[in-house]
Amino acid sequence: MLAALDVLKFPLTEEDKERARKRAEEAVELYAQRMREKGRRLGIDREYERAKYYRGYCGEESIARILNGTFPVYDPYRDWDVLIPGVGKVQVKTDRLYRLCEWEVRLGPSMPFEKLWLCYLRESKSDIQRVSELSVEDVRKYPWAEKDTYYKLARFYKVTIPKDIWLGVEE
């Protein structure tokens, strides 16, 4: 049996995609509700938000299924995504842009996760590829800006990865 850290590709099933779609819809509705509760009346681009959450949830769903991971109590705005046996709390950042080298990573005031996995959603082959792994300590070395999100203050780190990391990732 492979260790969790040895797995670099996570095939997506139709069930993963369906769960991701459902979770994305719920997340956007919760986002809109929280914006209203804060008194913010600006409209949100629901299609953009749904697509963003969908990508992330595709990564989470396939990784959790393959590595026997579990999700925390439902809140799409928590600081970690999947609890993976032998790894710990993992924040999964997934994008569909090949060779993306700059990622925005939110950290709350506590130690929210043990590992950050930066992943690529390869839609043509319907899989997720893990591109890079960092610890919380690694993330905290990058420049950050504090932002007032709609529910709490958080630091947003600008994590950059070297271009040569992408050499082992299929387009």
Q: Looking at residue 77, what is its pLDDT?
A: 61
**Regions of the chain with pLDDT less than 70:** 1-6, 41-42, 74-77, 109-111, 149-152
Residue 19 lies in a domain: yes
Per the domain annotation, does 157 fall within a domain?
A: no
Asked whether residue 147 is domain-assigned, the answer is: no
**What pLDDT, on a 0 to 100 scale, did the predictor assign at position 5?**
57
pLDDT for the residue 18: 97
Number of domains in the chain: 1
Helix (H) / strand (E) element for 56: namely: helix 46-67
| Neighbouring-strand partners of residue 115 | 90, 135
Least Cα distance to 14 among 53, 63, 58, 67 occurs for: 58
Residue 64 domain boundaries: 4-100+116-135
Q: What is the pLDDT of residue 106?
A: 86
SS3 121: strand
Give the position of tokens 């949830």: 57
Residue 52 domain-assigned (yes or no): yes
Q: What is the pLDDT of residue 1?
A: 36
Residue 58 lies in a domain: yes
pLDDT for 148 equals 74
Asked, for residue 57, whether it belongs to a domain, the answer is yes
Vertex 53, ends 51 and 58: CA angle to 5°?
95
Does residue 64 form part of some domain?
yes
